[in-house]
Amino acid sequence: MKTIILPGYSPHNRDWAEDIKKDLSIKYPVTIHEWRHWTSGSFSLVKEIVSILKKVGKEKINIIAKSVGTRVAMHLATKIPKQINKVILCGIPTRGESDTVRETYSKGLASLSPTQVIVFQNTKDPFANYKDIEKFIHSINPKINVVEKSRSDHHYPFSEDFEKFLT
């Protein structure tokens, strides 16, 4: 088993991922996925999925995902549902997104048991507030735990909560 961290789009999310990795006290390896566009080129969902699937191989995984990483996590859930142990979604960005993106979350979450998933959303996240995400996630599956965090930004420094869910 391993844990993969799928950070947000911006390069500063590397720091968030490194902090989470450093703060987790779990007994299996933790890998940070480095988005290709951080060093060259542009974001390609297809290329990122292929790269992650190569890293994962046949292993069982946990996923900690933030922002755009949550969307990638949902694509992975539909491709390798039997390999996924648990998924932590943070800061789901739905503001201004298309129905296609919403469908991605619906399909991904439908491929997992509600006990495998937890969502952390800040009260006033600028990319989608807690109330909107709670309503959206519960429209897909009302049994998925959506946890409100009292912040008004898009930062998710909740290593202790993540670790508790993973162990």
Residue 30 neighbours by CB distance under 10 Å: 17
On whether the CB atoms of residues 51 and 36 are closer than 8 A, the answer is: yes
The answer on pLDDT for 140 being more than 70 is yes
* Bridge partners of residue 143, in order along the sequence: none
128-138 pLDDT per residue, tens:
999 999 999 99
What is the residue extent of each domain of the chain? 2-166
What is the average pLDDT score of the chain?
93
Cα 41 to Cα 151: distance, rounded to the nearest angstrom: 33
pTM of the model: 0.95
Cα 90 to Cα 152: distance, rounded to the nearest angstrom: 14
66-120 pLDDT per residue, tens:
999 999 999 999 999 999 999 999 999 986 566 777 889 999 999 999 999 999 9
Q: Which CATH number fits domain 2-166: 3.30.450.40, 3.40.50.1820, 3.40.50.450, 3.30.1150.10?
A: 3.40.50.1820
